[in-house]
Structures are given as structure tokens and as C-alpha cells.
Structure 1
Amino acid sequence: QDSIDGGYTGPSKDEQRRLELISLLSGNLQQPTMLASTPFPLVLVVLRPVDETQVNKRYAEEPESIMRLTIDLLRQCCTTSSVYGVFALSINRYLVLLDTDVDHKALMGDFLRSSTMYLDLMFEYRVSAALSCWEEVQKEYQTIENNFAPVSRMVLRARRFIQEHYADASVDLPTIAKAVQVSKNHLSSEFSKETGQSLSNYLSCVRVERAIQLLEQTNLLTYEVAEAVGFKNTETFARMFKKITGKTPRNYH
């Protein structure tokens, strides 16, 4: 807001909190003022788009737009939880400060589904253990940053292929390797190394995430949902669904 005499009043409260957090994370600031009321212990979630190069290219002209959209989407997914702050550190880095009791898996699963759908971007995230002061937050943030592996074009192309073709029941490791033009053994080992999960597990997760959307937003029957997301039969679907979400497909109807 402008002040009465039309002069600029400086950055908004949100922007002041963001800048203070950046100072805290870089170690330039020990004690916050704007963020002083943040309760501890808390959990730190760091998110980044999987394809940072694509984001840099796509939003080079207006970085604020993608930062604002991502923050809005994160906030929407966090409305029912005890969230102490959602921040964009840069076009490729986002932070969420959460109460230690929050089910971060459900919350982030929600965001990852939404970001693929509304932003056409895949994100990945890392979560800290419970942290009890700003110094621990800063150390943990550095550790997470150092553990983000660079993503190869091959793994990116495999993930993109899965996102686009998961509904086809014949999609499997050999199909994906052929599409990406590498041997299946090479793809399999690189994928696990970079993402921390096997390619087949990632494919199942994408299918189950899409299934949750269909169960929540349509009146399709369980076997129709299983078919729509690429499972060959309802039994495999139900087993995989329970393994990944801890619930049965019926829980989502």
C-alpha cells in the first residue's frame, strides 16, 4: 500500500519475512524479528522443480509469475494444516515450515498432483527431521541443498514420458528405455540413483496419484479407475494403492 502522501512504504510484510528467511538461511542473520514468532519445533520442507533449466527458460521474462503461482498452490494445499510459512526463495526454490504433527506426505502429494496439473511442472522435495532453532534450520537447509542431485536429461525424459503415457497399461521399463533411447539396465540404475526410487515404483506412484484424483472428482467405479490409470486388473491396482497410500481405493469415494 502507498502511504497517504503517495510515497512508497517499502516491501510488504510477506516480502520482509521472505528476505529475512533468506538472510537466516545464508547465515547472515542469527536472530529474526519478522519471523520471531515462528514456533519450534518445526519441520522444514524444501521443494524444487525437477527441470530447473526448463523453468529458467520458460519464466526468464517474468520470474515473479511462477513464484506467485507456486506459492498460491502450496498455500491452497496447506489450508487445513498447521503451516508456519510458505516461501519462494527463488524461481527454483520453495520452502514450507510445518508443525511436526502435520502429515507432510499427504500434503506434498496433494501439491505434486496440483503442480503437474496446473503449472505443468514436476517438483521434488526433501523433508527435515524436527528442528528446534533457526541455527538448526540453516544447517538442515544447507544439507538438503547439498543432497539435491543434479538431474540428467535421460531421467527427465523418462519422467516426462511416464507423466504422459501412464494410462497405457503396456508401459513398462523396456518401453520407457526404448522411448528415451538407452538400455533398460542403464536407465534403471541411473533413475534409482537420481530419484531415490525405482522406475517401476515411480510409475506406480504416478498412476496412484492420478487414481486419487479420479476417485475424488468423478463417479467412476474402482475397476474403471484402475483401467483409466493403466493397471491391468483391479487386484493389482488395489494392492499397489494400499501400499502407496496406506488406504484402500474405497476410502477415497
Structure 2
Amino acid sequence: MPISKQAMLAGAATVAGIFSFAAPAEAAVILCYVGGNAQPQCANTNVNVLVDQQTGDPVTAGDNDATTNVNYTFTSTTEALLKQVASGQADVASGDADGALQQISFNILNGAASLITFNLIPLGPQATIDDATSVTVSIAGQDPVVISGLAPNGQNFYGIVATAGEQLTGLSFGNFSPAGSGIQALNQVRLNLVPAPAVPEPGTWALMLLGFGAVGTAIRRSRRRNANTLLQMA
């Protein structure tokens, strides 16, 4: 069946729209703050990550929304064991003898978030190593974020937020400063989960295929015209 010009144009427009959506002009993943006066403040989250007193590496976790069906893990490259403390604060700490975390990653296995907030618990006076005063947060596909001025007592609430539609699938905390320092626990991880991308309807797929066909046809015709022009000039 012949393809109408209108269908070809619609398909080409669909393809162009997909490519333009896939590449935001000004992507940015930045640090935000939970409470206090520092700006920007983190927005609200929609799920809390929950732990259940596992010891191991990795350790798994869920959340407080039974409808999400999203799973999480915590892993470490420096600790032989991680230890979860389900005390209402959802701590993940080192299970090693020194009780100090020097690297920890939080991973969203089958979902993504636009915001992840967390609390970095300091070691306190009983520690055998120094409390960290800064940490580097690594984010897949993005520039790392450095958090400075960690308090040696109390709480250190922060967040990482995607400001241009990026999807966060985890955070990795490491390169603590000063060298050899660490924290006691990663605590109260909360997220703003984002919906999974919608699967295109069959009609949309058809328009996409028509669009690719239209683009290919236009390229072939352009090449033929150029070839004919060169022959005539010769």
C-alpha cells in the first residue's frame, strides 16, 4: 500500500522529536540541602528506603511503598561486611571491626529517581580513625559532586537532585577527606522515584518506522540528483 506524504512527514517528525527529547540542552545534577538556610533546598521525596538488619555485601533493601516494586542494594569496595540497623532510621554501617565506612554505594536496581536525599552519620569520639570533613559523591554519567564541611557530630543531611530530566540510578560515596577518614553510617535514604518510561503504542512505532523510511528515501533521492548533476557537468 502506498505511503501518503502526510504519514511520511508525521513519521519524520516523530523521529525528530524522539532525538530532541533524548538530549537535554542543559543537563545538570547538583547538590541540594535538607533543612537550614543553604540553597537550593531539596524538594519532597515520595519513598523511604527500608532495611531489615542484614549483614553482608551486598545487602538488599526495599521501600515503604508496596506499589513501587523497586529493589535496592548497598555495596562497598572497602568494607568486608556491611551491617543494616533497622531502628526506624534505616542505617547502613560498616560490619568490620573499626566500625568506619570509607566507601559505600547505594543502587536502585529496577527504577530511577529525580532526587536522592541522605544523612551521613559521623564517627564520633569513640572512633579509631578521623571523621571525614568532605566526601565525593559519584553519579553514573554525571560529574561528581563534592560535599564539604561535614559536621563531626550530629547530622549531615544532603541530597542529589536532577534538574533537567536526568534519571538517577544510584550514588557512590568515597574519596573521604582527610585521607584515611570515614563516616559511621549512611542513614535515612529517601527518594523521589520517577515513573518508568512509557512503552510506545503500536501506532507510534509505525510512525517511527515510516519516519526512518522517509529519511532514507530522501537521502537516496538526494544522492541520485547529485550524481546526475555531476554527470551533466562532465
Bin of the TM-score, shorter chain as denominator length: under 0.3
TM-score by length of 1: 0.24
TM-score by length of 2: 0.26
Greater relative CO (CA pairs within 8 A, separation 6+): 2
Higher normalized strand content (fraction of residues): 2
Structure with higher Rg: it is 2
